[in-house]
Structure 1
Amino acid sequence: MKLVIKFGGVPVKDGDSIRKDAELVVSRYKKGDKVAVVTSAMAGVTDQLLEMAHRLIEPRSDPKQLIPEFIRQISIRHYRACQEAIKKVEVLDKTVRNIRETIDLLERALTGISYLGELSPRSQDLVLSFGERLSAPILSGAIESLGVRSRSLTGFEAGLITDDHFTEARPLMDKVRKLARQRINRIWAKKEVPVITGFIGGTEDGIITTLGRGGSDYTASILGAALGVDEIWIMTDVDGIMTADPKVEPSARVIKTVSYIEATELAYFGAKVLHPKMIRPAMDSNIPVRVLNAFRPNQGGTLIIKEPNMARDIVKSITISKKVSLITVGGAEMIGVPGVAAAVFDIIGRAGIKVLMISQSSSQADISFVVDRKEADLAIRALRAEFERRNIGWDISCERNVSVIAAIGAGMKGTPGVAARVFGTLGRNGINILTIAQGSSELNISFTVDERDAVKAVRALHSEFQLDKAG
């Protein structure tokens, strides 16, 4: 069997965890599987790199103090992980040299940013790439120390060629298929296990790009599709995709199977186990995806396939998207005016703001949309500036503290009364709905509520659809 196994940040959080990951990989190799490994950065490292890069461009920053201290902390963590994960001295020495060289490159990159006093998208991608460039050699070394030959390589070296849309690069799939097959098959032919940096690609000129935060899942799916593997395994710190966030609803259960489309909806609306973009490459190649707990890989997890057997469940999961804001553009002048939505979202798009949900009144007197709370002020400024320039008198209002709740499941399609159950449950629990949206696929009903009502809404709907009894 050919497998791509991807390890998330928590499963590679320290040396002991990395060694357990290596043991899983080696066990599959010894069963005769061809395995390609994709790894995230160690938990929290990407955030630390981004924070440091931003601190260095602050007007009163002190690079001579900030950079050495940051490099010291990063070095200690990764050297300790090497010592914990790798037990063969010769492999440890080789890995430590690799880590030292990579940290030297990181220090130069940070120094360059401090001199320039600015952080371009291209520079940001370079800095953020170091998280995976440091973790991959350690996991590769751990595999090798268990007696299986391995090598680490960046996504670009593995054949992941992208465009130059830095921070959100898109793979050039025709090129990826050709190069990845050549390069990974060559490594497999040598009886080696490739350990590939997630999140990172490169332009045709070799300039480092990233696929967006959480992009290691996407890397695994892209490479899995290119290699034509039998399955893609996403190793996380939870037992699979859940009927709700267990931190919100303690009775949440693992969902055994979901369709590709359901998984896409779940990822988009807040199920943090998967990156929203990762499903498409697997779906296009009809490759099953398993979501497993790296610390309990034999638990079964969740299987994502084209068309799972129709279960009795109408709704499979209730998701929550937190820390978002609801912006409404309205006014009597909008009624009957063509192109209102196009005008609003053209402005928002040019400001580089991602819209999470859209709702428009049937009278066309207003249109509401949800954005990340950190981008709400930017969205409002962009709209006001453009409205003033065009002499448009539409009103702009903002509910800053809202949450998006979504009820998701293929069983909703063609089943009458689902919306009535959703909104009736919320009404009985005294929860006010701000806006509502439903896609043409009929796989989800999403709506916004005051964030103070969000947990109550999730628990009420989870109980209404008896998801604690879901298989």
Structure 2
Amino acid sequence: MKFGGSSVASADRMREVADLILSFTDESPFIVLSAMGKTTNKLLLAGEKAVSCGVNKVDTIEELLFIKELHHRTVDELGVDRLIVDGHLEELQQLLKGIAMMKELTLRTRDYLVSFGECVSTRIFAAYLNKIGVKARQYDAFEIGFITTDDFTNADILEATYAAVAKRLNDDWNSDPAIPIVTGFLGKGWRSCAITTLGRGGSDLTATTIGKALGFREIQVLHPQSMRPAREGDIPVRVKNSYNPKAPGTLITRSRDMTKAGLTSIVLKRNVTMLDIVSTRMLGQFGFLAKVFSIFEDLGISVDVVATSEVSISLTLDPSKLWSRWLIPQASDELDHVVEELEKIAVVNLLQHRSIISLIGNVERSSLILEKAFNVLRINGVNVQMISQGASKVNISLVVNDNEAEQCVRALHSAFFESELPCGSSN
């Protein structure tokens, strides 16, 4: 079972998660936790500020004070000893002073910095479970065999991880059974032996990796990359809402009967950057797309959704790979570099504050889905700025303005899942 930052954002939420886990104790669950809500972003902000604030002012960084207060308040409300977190919080403060002294924040140091969120949240939660009589044991993923590439901030888990994790967890369980509480998102570089992170959403991948290693019956998480180990291990994945734990959630399996299915889900991704790239050089030429995508590869930026015509390319950039620009605008000139390089070969229009609405549905009924979706958007006065649909027709992606996104999703959900009335009916 994996719980994200919002599920462990406070002492009250941790109590609710603990109650939920108590209902599964007969099934010997393992638990993967993210950092407490907002902690990861606060750590990154603190690191960026430390670069320029000077060693003497590190103690006054607002985000550091927030992190300390949040975790101290949480342990106090849970009745857990502050010593559980004080050592890590002091280490965090010393790291920020080191960043201030060096006046730089490398990717390697950034991964070390954000690891404090998961390391502290899991220690608090394990201590609370033990306090209420549920035997639990905290684990840092990078200490139990999570071996990764040395691609800091976006590392990949290596095959050797499965055997190493299985051995460590099984040995501990056989000698002294306790519910494992594991840090999500983290690993250890196979060459550097330094802490690495698996990218945003990596806690889900941590959970499915453990699930495959241990051959679990079912995993309750969701992130696209996390599906790979679950699929390879033929393990169903259940998506649940910790705010509504009694609901059955959604079970994802290897196959299902799609003959009667239309639209099965609607997914929203906010704060997306969209690029329109226009060049007459594309017409009848080969290699132009390769030049465009090589620019993104060289700058280490992931492209999300793509649509092309004879003389233009429209694409969106994965927001999880551009987080620093929105957290600290002056901290990254990634987009500036992209635009600068692309303008050497094309006219570029940069559009920010966009959202992607993805419609997941039946391959054979995509035309009906599109017809109904566009009718809903027309009625709501929304213009789609970009549409992308692969040959499989399973995923239809629509790009709209951020400020229209929630309205669109609600209207689409109502039309597809809440009513059999024709689109636009007010009855």
User: For the structure 1 residues 225 and 325, does the alpha-carbon distance in structure 2 shift closer, same or farther, using more than 3 Å as the test?
Assistant: same
Deviation readout 1:97-117 (Å, 9 max, x if unpaired): 332221222122111111100
Structure ranking higher on relative contact order (CA contacts 8 Å, 6+ apart) = 1
Which is further off, 199-208 or 457-466? 457-466
Selected match of 1:16 from 6, 12, 16 = 12
Q: TM-score, normalised by structure 2?
A: 0.87
User: For the structure 1 residues 331 and 307, does the alpha-carbon distance in structure 2 shift closer, same or farther, using more than 3 Å as the test?
Assistant: same
Deviation readout 1:373-398 (Å, 9 max, x if unpaired): 8589744643533654xxx4x32223
In the other structure, the counterpart of 2:85 is: 99
Deviation readout 1:328-347 (Å, 9 max, x if unpaired): 22232220110111110111
The code of the aligned residue for 2:59 comes to I
Selected match of 1:461 from 402, 412, 415 = 412
Structure 1 segment 104-123 matched on structure 2, within 5 A: 104-123=90-109
In the other structure, the counterpart of 1:186 is: 171
Selected match of 2:58 from 66, 88, 99 = 66
The code of the aligned residue for 2:350 comes to C
Selected match of 1:384 from 340, 347, 362 = 340
In structure 1, the residue corresponding to 2:240 is in which secondary structure?
Answer: strand
Selected match of 2:356 from 404, 408, 413 = 404
Q: Distance in 2 between matches of 1:377 and 1:57?
A: 16
The code of the aligned residue for 1:328 comes to D
Structure 1 segment 298-337 matched on structure 2, within 5 A: 298-310=246-258, 312-337=260-285
User: In 2, are the aligned partners of 1:229 and 1:287 still within 8 Å (CA)?
Assistant: yes
Gaps of 5+ in 1: 87-91, 235-273
Q: Structure 1 residue 365 and structure 2 residue 314: aligned?
A: no
The code of the aligned residue for 2:233 comes to S
Shift of 1:46: 1.0
Q: Distance in 2 between matches of 1:458 and 1:464?
A: 10
Shift of 1:81: 1.9
The code of the aligned residue for 2:315 comes to F
Shift of 1:217: 1.3
In structure 1, the residue corresponding to 2:246 is in which secondary structure?
Answer: helix
Shift of 1:196: 0.8
Q: Distance in 2 between matches of 1:38 and 1:456?
A: 33
In the other structure, the counterpart of 1:352 is: 300
In the other structure, the counterpart of 1:449 is: 400
In structure 2, the residue corresponding to 1:52 is in which secondary structure?
Answer: helix
In the other structure, the counterpart of 1:248 is: none
Q: Structure 1 residue 170 and structure 2 residue 156: aligned?
A: yes
User: In 2, are the aligned partners of 1:290 and 1:301 still within 8 Å (CA)?
Assistant: yes
Selected match of 1:342 from 274, 290, 294 = 290
The code of the aligned residue for 2:341 comes to A
In structure 2, the residue corresponding to 1:35 is in which secondary structure?
Answer: coil
In the other structure, the counterpart of 2:49 is: 55
User: For the structure 1 residues 135 and 468, does the alpha-carbon distance in structure 2 shift closer, same or farther, using more than 3 Å as the test?
Assistant: farther
Percent identity at matched positions?
A: 33
User: In 1, are the aligned partners of 2:46 and 2:64 still within 8 Å (CA)?
Assistant: no
Which is further off, 304-313 or 282-291? 304-313
In the other structure, the counterpart of 2:210 is: 223
User: For the structure 1 residues 197 and 450, does the alpha-carbon distance in structure 2 shift closer, same or farther, using more than 3 Å as the test?
Assistant: closer
Deviation readout 1:192-223 (Å, 9 max, x if unpaired): 12211111111235310111122211111111
Q: Structure 1 residue 431 and structure 2 residue 418: aligned?
A: no
Q: Distance in 1 between matches of 2:43 and 2:297?
A: 27
Aligned length: 408
Q: Distance in 2 between matches of 1:41 and 1:405?
A: 27
Shift of 1:52: 0.4
Shift of 1:447: 2.4
User: For the structure 1 residues 446 and 36, does the alpha-carbon distance in structure 2 shift closer, same or farther, using more than 3 Å as the test?
Assistant: same
In the other structure, the counterpart of 2:133 is: 147
Q: Distance in 2 between matches of 1:464 and 1:75?
A: 46
Q: Distance in 1 between matches of 2:136 and 2:368?
A: 55
Q: Distance in 1 between matches of 2:245 and 2:404?
A: 35
The code of the aligned residue for 1:55 comes to K
User: In 2, are the aligned partners of 1:26 and 1:146 still within 8 Å (CA)?
Assistant: no
Q: Structure 1 residue 38 and structure 2 residue 32: aligned?
A: yes
Q: Distance in 2 between matches of 1:352 and 1:154?
A: 28
The code of the aligned residue for 1:18 comes to M
Which is further off, 225-234 or 125-134? 225-234
User: In 2, are the aligned partners of 1:353 and 1:379 still within 8 Å (CA)?
Assistant: no
In structure 1, the residue corresponding to 2:30 is in which secondary structure?
Answer: strand
In structure 1, the residue corresponding to 2:41 is in which secondary structure?
Answer: helix
User: In 2, are the aligned partners of 1:348 and 1:379 still within 8 Å (CA)?
Assistant: no
User: In 1, are the aligned partners of 2:342 and 2:348 still within 8 Å (CA)?
Assistant: no
Which is further off, 440-449 or 19-28? 19-28
User: In 1, are the aligned partners of 2:262 and 2:365 still within 8 Å (CA)?
Assistant: no
Q: TM-score, normalised by structure 1?
A: 0.79
Deviation readout 1:150-188 (Å, 9 max, x if unpaired): 22110112221111100011100x211111110010122
Structure 1 segment 160-309 matched on structure 2, within 5 A: 160-172=146-158, 174-189=159-174, 190-204=176-190, 205-234=192-221, 274-309=222-257
CA-atom RMSD, angstroms? 2.7
User: For the structure 1 residues 195 and 55, does the alpha-carbon distance in structure 2 shift closer, same or farther, using more than 3 Å as the test?
Assistant: same
User: For the structure 1 residues 343 and 43, does the alpha-carbon distance in structure 2 shift closer, same or farther, using more than 3 Å as the test?
Assistant: same
User: For the structure 1 residues 26 and 159, does the alpha-carbon distance in structure 2 shift closer, same or farther, using more than 3 Å as the test?
Assistant: farther
User: In 1, are the aligned partners of 2:281 and 2:288 still within 8 Å (CA)?
Assistant: no
The code of the aligned residue for 1:184 comes to L
Shift of 1:134: 0.6
Shift of 1:460: 4.2
Shift of 1:319: 2.9
User: In 2, are the aligned partners of 1:315 and 1:412 still within 8 Å (CA)?
Assistant: no
In structure 2, the residue corresponding to 1:398 is in which secondary structure?
Answer: strand
Q: Distance in 1 between matches of 2:413 and 2:67?
A: 42
